[in-house]
């Protein structure tokens, strides 16, 4: 925890409040370093905070029009960049409560399952739980998931925001009655962050439900003693974000620790999973554990073995989830082959044989991916991800008229609204529907909240291309000029400006 002050009385007060405190002086400003801060806090860079803010502002303006679902997606996209933005969490919850009050319904069972399947990383688990909570704002199970994941990932301000909401919701619950385990979870999470007062309050609620548990009574007394000794730490700092902004190095070290995986450990994991599967080959849970272990090695031989197992199980059960997993592995292999060949071309750019081989590889890979995603979409018709991927492959293959209606369909999902809009405009452009291209790309630019990032530069470029093809030279020049001001070397923008000015 870092606290800046130039007041010697403040300094004395902090040293009294925190025995063992250290201090440093930089540019006549005393920096007080409290040694006993919780480990693992993730500090979000100021650059990412600014990027996220654009989405939050867009979400706020959209919510004011009553378009709550789109506002929810805007806030979630911003929180994907800055997951510890408490003001955004508060605003998103306010949107969800307004939506609920206006008659908004919870998501359907299949939509919930689809959303949960998409959570591949802990941060995605946090945002998935928050999305589910936005559509069902009283669900304490989603709150628990948010609390645990935020604590595990180091988003401590988010923990201290959702914790009191969870505690009140659990305490006020009548059907079902208050859940003892949720109070215990709250207590343990607060203890890990040394938030003794909050831990004590949560423990009080647990004791009320089970007053005869002597161990819990003893822990309550100990927490009370800790609270007395360290009263006010979090309140004094204001937030973890303010007090631990300079702990970026710690975050980097933790991230490196997560990524350390030795080949020996992966091989051992495969052997253990194989033994469990051979003991009960009809148990699909053990099959999937073996498949995951094989795939993690990123070795083609093991991946092929995983696909064989999945194909056999699909033939036996006719459950498409096994065929879907097989297809995912195949897509990963195709992507890896493309990357390897691209690296060879980049290393020897004048080799025409390599360039021709790479071009053929991309074409055949795109066709294979189109088949897979079409199969996925046929079996999971409500998952717009697959529709969007189909449209991308159709575009790459030059089938622009086929891609247009699919991009239009994909735009109905807020996750793909921007990217699908850009490709839709480009598809119109390639099909010589110039007015439609201009209108589509202009609409995407007006809707996108960030100016000057890579996506907005790309949008302005294609907007300029559509205007140029339409014959609207002055406005096209303005769009190209904006691109050049942001990135002077972007594609062929210099040549296009010179050509139009001539």
Give the whole-angstrom CA distance, residue 71 versus residue 449: 12
Contact 215, 206 (CB under 8 A): no
* C-alpha distances out from residue 111 to 108, 128, 130, Å: 5, 12, 15
Tell the residue number behind the tokens 């109905």, with chain if given.
Answer: 412
Give the whole-angstrom CA distance, residue 502 versus residue 483: 19
Quote the pLDDT of residue 502. Answer: 87
Give the whole-angstrom CA distance, residue 428 versus residue 465: 12
SS3 26: strand
Quote the pLDDT of residue 229. Answer: 66
Give the whole-angstrom CA distance, residue 239 versus residue 244: 8
Cβ atoms within 10 Å of 212's Cβ, excluding its own: 7
Global pTM reads 0.59
Contact 78, 56 (CB under 8 A): yes
* C-alpha distances out from residue 239 to 49, 87, 160, 206, 243, Å: 15, 12, 9, 27, 6
- The Cα angle at residue 52 between residues 122 and 438, in degrees rounded to 5: 115
Q: Classify 495 in phi/psi space as left (phi over 0), alpha (psi -120 to 50) or beta.
A: alpha
Instruction: Describe the chain by its helix, strand, coil percentages, rounded to 5.
Output: 75, 5, 20
Q: What is the pLDDT along the chain (502 residues), one digit of tens a residue?
A: 333 333 333 333 333 333 333 333 333 333 333 334 467 788 888 889 999 999 999 999 989 888 999 999 999 999 999 999 999 999 999 999 999 888 888 988 888 888 777 666 777 889 999 999 999 999 999 999 999 999 988 899 999 999 999 999 999 888 888 999 999 999 999 998 888 889 999 999 999 888 888 888 888 888 888 777 665 444 444 566 665 544 444 445 444 444 444 556 778 889 999 999 999 999 999 999 999 999 988 889 999 999 999 999 999 999 999 999 999 999 999 999 898 899 898 889 899 999 999 999 999 999 999 999 999 999 999 889 999 999 999 999 999 999 999 999 999 888 889 999 999 999 999 999 999 999 999 999 999 888 888 889 999 999 999 999 999 999 999 999 999 999 999 999 999 999 999 8
Extract the tokens encoding 242. 């303010």
Distance of CA 34 to the CA centre of its chain: 32
Quote the pLDDT of residue 242. Answer: 61
Q: Kind of pairing, strands 2-5 and 22-26? A: unpaired
Give the whole-angstrom CA distance, residue 427 versus residue 76: 28
Give the whole-angstrom CA distance, residue 31 versus residue 6: 9
Extended beta strands in 299-357, E state:
none
Contact 135, 152 (CB under 8 A): no
* C-alpha distances out from residue 362 to 268, 337, 341, 367, Å: 35, 10, 10, 9
Give the whole-angstrom CA distance, residue 372 versus residue 396: 15
Quote the pLDDT of residue 218. Answer: 86
Quote the pLDDT of residue 240. Answer: 67
Report which secondary-structure segment, H or E, holds 2.
Answer: strand 2-5
Extract the tokens encoding 285. 């849970």
Contact 246, 2 (CB under 8 A): yes
Q: What is the DSSP letter of 38?
A: P
Cβ atoms within 10 Å of 170's Cβ, excluding its own: 23
Contact 84, 42 (CB under 8 A): yes
Phi and psi, residue 26, nearest 5°:
-125, 120
Quote the pLDDT of residue 119. Answer: 62
Give the whole-angstrom CA distance, residue 311 versus residue 249: 45
Give the whole-angstrom CA distance, residue 16 versus residue 31: 15
Greatest Cα pair distance, the chain, in angstroms, is: 88
Write the DSSP string, 417-441. HHHHHHHHHHHHHHTT-HHHHHHHH
């Amino acid at each position: 925890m870092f606290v800046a002050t130039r007041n010697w009385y403040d300094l004395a007060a902090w040293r009294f409040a925190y025995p063992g405190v250290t201090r440093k002086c930089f540019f006549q400003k005393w920096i007080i370093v409290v040694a006993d801060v919780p480990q693992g806090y993730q500090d979000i860079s100021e650059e990412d905070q600014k990027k996220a803010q654009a989405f939050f502002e867009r979400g706020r303006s959209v919510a004011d029009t009553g378009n709550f679902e789109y506002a929810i997606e805007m806030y979630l996209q911003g929180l994907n960049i800055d997951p510890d933005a408490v003001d955004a969490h508060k605003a998103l919850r306010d949107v969800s409560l307004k939506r609920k009050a206006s008659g908004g319904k919870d998501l359907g069972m299949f939509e919930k399952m689809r959303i949960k399947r998409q959570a591949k990383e802990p941060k995605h688990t946090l945002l998935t739980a928050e999305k589910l909570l936005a559509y069902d704002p009283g669900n304490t199970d989603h709150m628990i998931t948010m609390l645990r994941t935020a604590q595990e990932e180091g988003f401590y301000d988010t923990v201290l925001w959702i914790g009191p909401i969870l505690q009140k919701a659990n305490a006020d619950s009548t059907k079902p009655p208050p859940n003892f385990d949720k109070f215990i979870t709250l207590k343990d999470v607060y203890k890990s962050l040394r938030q003794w007062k909050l831990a004590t309050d949560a423990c009080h609620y647990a004791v009320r439900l089970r007053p005869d548990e002597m161990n819990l009574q003893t822990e309550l007394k100990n927490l009370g003693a800790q609270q007395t000794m360290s009263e006010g730490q979090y309140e004094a700092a204001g937030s973890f974000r303010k007090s631990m902004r300079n702990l970026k190095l710690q975050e980097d070290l933790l991230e490196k620790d997560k990524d350390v995986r030795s080949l020996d450990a992966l091989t051992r994991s495969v052997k253990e999973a194989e033994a469990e599967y051979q003991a009960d080959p009809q148990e699909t849970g053990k099959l999937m554990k073996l498949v995951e272990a094989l795939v993690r090695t990123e070795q083609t031989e093991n991946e092929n073995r995983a696909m064989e197992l999945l194909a056999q199980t699909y033939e036996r059960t006719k459950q498409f989830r096994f065929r879907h997993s097989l297809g995912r592995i195949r897509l990963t292999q195709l992507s890896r082959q493309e990357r390897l060949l691209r690296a060879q071309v980049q290393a020897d750019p004048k080799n025409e044989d390599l360039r021709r081989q790479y071009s053929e590889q991309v074409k055949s890979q795109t066709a294979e991916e189109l088949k897979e995603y079409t199969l996925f979409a046929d079996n999971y018709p409500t998952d717009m991800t697959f529709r969007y991927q189909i449209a991308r492959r159709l575009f790459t293959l030059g089938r622009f008229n086929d891609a247009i209606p699919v991009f239009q369909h994909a735009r109905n999902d807020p996750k793909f609204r921007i990217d699908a809009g850009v490709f839709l405009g480009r598809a119109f452009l390639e099909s010589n529907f110039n007015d439609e291209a201009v209108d589509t790309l202009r609409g995407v630019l007006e809707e996108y909240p960030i100016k000057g990032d890579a996506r907005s530069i790309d949008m302005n470029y294609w907007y300029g291309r559509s205007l140029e093809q339409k014959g609207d030279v002055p406005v096209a020049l303005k769009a190209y000029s904006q691109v050049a001001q942001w990135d002077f070397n972007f594609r062929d923008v210099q040549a296009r400006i010179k050509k139009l000015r001539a």
